[in-house]
Amino acid sequence: MDLRFLFKESLTALTSAPIRSLLTMLGVIIGVAAVIAMMSIGGGAKLETLRQIRALGATNIYVKSSRLTGENLKRAKQALSRGLSRDDYNIILQKLPHVEGATFELKLNQNFRFLKKQPKSNLIGIGPDYFNLIPTKLDFGRYFSSQDYLESRKAVLLSSKISRELFGNTNPVGKFVTIGDKSFEIQGVLASLRNVSQSSNDSKNSIKIGERERERDVYLPYTTIIDRFQLSLKDVEDSEQDPTYSELSMIIVKLTHPEPMLMVRNYLNKILQLRHKGVDDYQIIAPVDLLEKSNRVQEIFNMVMVFIASLSLVVGGIGIMNIMLANIQQRVKEIGIRRAIGATRRDILLQFLFEAIMISIGGGILGVLLGIITSSGISAFTGWTTVLSTSSIFISFIVSVSVGLVFGIFPARKASEMDPITALRYE
C-alpha cells in the first residue's frame, strides 16, 4: 500500500465528516497554539530583560536608598546610620576594586511645569560623569558641562517622553520650564532608552530602576539643586522618609568589565554594611540580576506551559482515539470488504493509523496558525513584547504529529484485528 493511496483514502474519510474531523482536531489545535503563544511571550520577556540590561549598562551597579519607616527607621537612627551619603560615594571610589567610575543622584521634591502643563516627572540632580556611566544618546542639544556644575546654572535635560508631552516633536532647546518658582533653560533632550538599547520604541514597558520610571526623568546639576534651592544634600530626600535621613538617593558604579560583578557586589555590600552599622537602608541592583530573575520566571513559565500544553494535547489525543474507535464501528463493513478482496492486517492498520496522523497534522497546522495569530494579538492589544521562534513552531508541530501516532495505534490495531467474516456479517 503506497503513501499516495493512504493519503487519498484518509483525506476522503476525513472530508466526508468535516465537522467531526474539526472537533477531533480541537484539542491538538489548542495545545499547539498554547505552546507557541506562551513560548513567544517567554521569548519576549527574555528579550525585554536583555534590552533593560543594555539600557542600564551591563557593567553598572546601582545602590539605591531604601525608604525606612516605623521600627526600621527608628533602628537606623539609633545606629546613627545616615543612609547613602557623599562619604559612601567617596569610599566606593577609593576602596572598591575594578571600578572605572562612579556618580550619584539625588531627588528633588518640587513642582515641574511648562506654562499650565505639569507632567508626571522625576526631578533628579546628578553628579559629574553621570552620562559617561549611563548609556544615553541625545535627540537635541548638549549634556551638562563642567561650567554648569561650577556655576550652578539653572539648566535641565529632559527625557524624550517628557519633551514630547510638552513640546511635541519640536526641538525645545533654549526654552524655559519652571521648577518650584524658578525658571530653568532646557539644554538638551535625551533619546528614548529603547533607542539607546536598539529595541522597539514601545513606551508601555518603560525601563525602571527600583520603582522609578527613567523615561520620566528631568535632570539638573546637583550643585544647582543645592545652591539654587538653598538645600544641603541631606535635605533633598523623599518627603515620605525622614528628611534628615539620607543624603543621596542613588550611587551608580561602573566596573571595568562584567566578569567580577558578583565579587564586587558582595564586597560593596560588606563595605556599606560596616558603614551603615548593619542597617539595610539601601538596595544593591545589578542589571545582571534582572537576567537571573528573568531566567527563574522563565523556568516557572515553561513548567506551566508544558503542563497546559500537555493537558491539551492529551485531551486532543484521547479525542482522536475515541473518534477513531467510533469511526471503526461505523466502517466495520468496509473493513470486511477490504479484507475479502485481499487487504492484509498491515494494510488496515496503516490506513487507520494514517488517518489519525492526518488529523493531528491538520490540527498541528491550524494550531500553528492560531498560535501565531494569538501571539501577534497579545503584542498588539497588550503592548507586551512577543517573539515567535521557528523552534517553538517546529517542536509544537512534531509533538502534534506524535500525538496522532501514539493515540492512533490502539484503534488502528483494533481495526486490523477484526475477523473479516464477522465484519462482512456485521449489520
pLDDT digits (tens, 9 = 90+) for 377-399: 888 887 777 888 888 788 888 88
pLDDT-based confidence at residue 319 (cuts at 50, 70, 90): confident
Which of these ranges, 154-158, 370-374, 409-413, has the smallest mean pLDDT?
Answer: 409-413
Quick check: helix, strand or coil at residue 140?
A: strand
Alpha carbon distances (Å) from 244 to 45, 63, 101:
40, 19, 28
Asked if 315 contacts 117 with a C-beta cutoff of 8 angstroms, the reply is: no
Please report the pLDDT score of residue 221 as a whole number: 94
- Residues 167 and 232: their CA atoms lie apart, in Å, by 33
The Cβ of residue 197 has, within 10 Å, a number of other Cβ atoms equal to 18
Q: Looking at the predicted structure, is the pLDDT value of residue 243 above 50? A: no
Residue of 319, 307, 314, 370 whose CA lies nearest to 32: 370
pLDDT of residue 236: 46
4 pLDDT more than 50: yes
Tell me what the pLDDT averaged over the chain comes to. Answer: 79
**More confident of the two residues 294 and 251:** 251
| pLDDT surpassing 90 at residue 241 | no
Confidence band for 333, pLDDT divided at 50, 70 and 90: confident
Contact at 8 Å (CB) between 209 and 62?
A: yes
Which residue blocks in 79-113 are alpha helix, DSSP H? 86-95
Q: Maximum CA pair distance of the chain? A: 106
Answer for the pair 8, 350: CB distance below 8 angstroms, yes or no: no
Say yes or no to pLDDT of 157 above 90.
yes
HEC assignment per residue over 171-214: CCCCCEEEECCEEEEEEEEECCHHHHCCCCCCHHHCCEECCEEH
Q: For 130-134, 184-188, 234-238, 310-314, which range has the lowest pLDDT when averaged over its residues?
A: 234-238
Beta-bridge mates of residue 52: none
In angstroms, rounded to a whole number, what is the distance separating the alpha carbons of residues 165 and 142?
A: 20
Does position 238 have pLDDT exceeding 50, yes or no?
no
pLDDT attached to residue 398: 85
User: Is the predicted pLDDT of residue 219 greater than 90, yes or no?
Assistant: yes
C-alpha cell at 74: 527608628
Decide if pLDDT at 173 tops 60. Answer: yes
Higher-confidence position of 239 and 14: 14
